[in-house]
Amino acid sequence: MEVLIPGDPVEMMTLGRSVDVQTKTALRHELGLDQPVPIRYLHYLEGLTRFDLGTSVRTRQPVTREIAARYPNTLKLAAGSLVVAIVFGVLTGVLSATYKDTIVDFAVSVLATLALSMPSFWLGLLLIFQFGVRWPILPVMGAGSLASLVLPSLTLGLILAAAISRMVRSSLLDVLRLDYVRTAHAKGLNAARVLWRHGVVNALIPVITVTGLQMGFLLGGAFVVEVVFAYPGIGQLAVKSIQYRDFPVVQGVTLIVAFTTVAVNVLVDVLYALANPQIRFS
């Protein structure tokens, strides 16, 4: 990795200290940095068979311990963001489809476009200024309380909510044109009941897949958001490790994020089959 990223972990570790060349060479040998990349890669793969992700260059602690201490915080942030995205996305999508081609539909479309166009770090800074400076009612850094999750979850969730909103609108409009919906109206069923029980429930089936695929976005966006809010998750750990050229931690975080994304997508496939029984017989 250090071939692709400029810098030397040993130089970062000894920065500001008077260390001779022999000591640096010995430290580089201890860390295995003097071995060819293919050999180090094979050693890394061998360690994975024992669930050993290596040792942090910066803290000299096992990478698994470093990640385990922060991984639950990132999962909480991802879960909170997903709740925000689903709630705001579904409600605004249904509202937009119900009032199609009206000022309400236009307003929702404009807000969704703005949210999709806004970088997460910029939205985070706006929320910090509004609810941490002008109206100091929410904590803007750290973790440990439910309130500390609100602003980071809104930052990630509102952007994802915009994508879900557009998907819900499109899917719901298609469902509302189907024969069984017209039949439900013809039977005299309550309009709200037809909308939610026959329309929204069936329109959410493709949305489940889209939401699951966005898990990678949530974990990737957490890297930036956790730095903005000084939130102690694996995103902040990865950024700090990149700054210190702590390659074992960066590799470990990348591996865990990839595994989480795959696991969530497998879970989404299962939920999709439960939501649509035809999938199990096809």
Residue 48 or 155, more confident: 155
CATH, range 77-281: 1.10.3720.10
Q: How confident is the model at residue 190 (pLDDT cuts 50, 70, 90)?
A: low
Contact 160, 217 (CB under 8 A): yes
Question: For the chain, what are the domain ranges?
Answer: 77-281
pLDDT at position 103 is 92
Do the beta carbons of residue 158 and residue 126 sit within 8 Å?
A: no
- Residue 71 above 80 pLDDT? yes
Confidence band for 1, pLDDT divided at 50, 70 and 90: very low
Question: What's the whole-number mean pLDDT along residues 206-235?
Answer: 80
Please enumerate in sequence order all residues whose Cβ is within 8 A of that of 175, keeping only pairs 6 or more positions apart, or say none. 181, 198, 199, 202, 203
Distance CA 103, CA 14 (A): 62
User: Which residue is associated with the tokens 């068979």?
Assistant: 49
The pLDDT > 70 percentage for the chain reads: 79
Confidence band for 11, pLDDT divided at 50, 70 and 90: low
Task: Compare 20 and 146 and report the one with higher pLDDT.
Answer: 146
d(CA 134, CA 252): 39
Mean pLDDT, rounded, for 167-185: 75
- What pLDDT shows up at residue 177? 73
Burial-class residue 101 by CB neighbours within 10 Å (0-12, 13-18, 19+): exposed
Q: Are 152 and 198 in contact (CB under 8 A)?
A: no
Determine the average pLDDT of the residues in 144-167.
87
Q: Reduce the DSSP state of residue 101 to 3 states and report it.
A: coil
Predicted pLDDT at 159: 87
Position 145 scores a pLDDT of: 80
CA gap 82, 161 in Å, rounded: 9
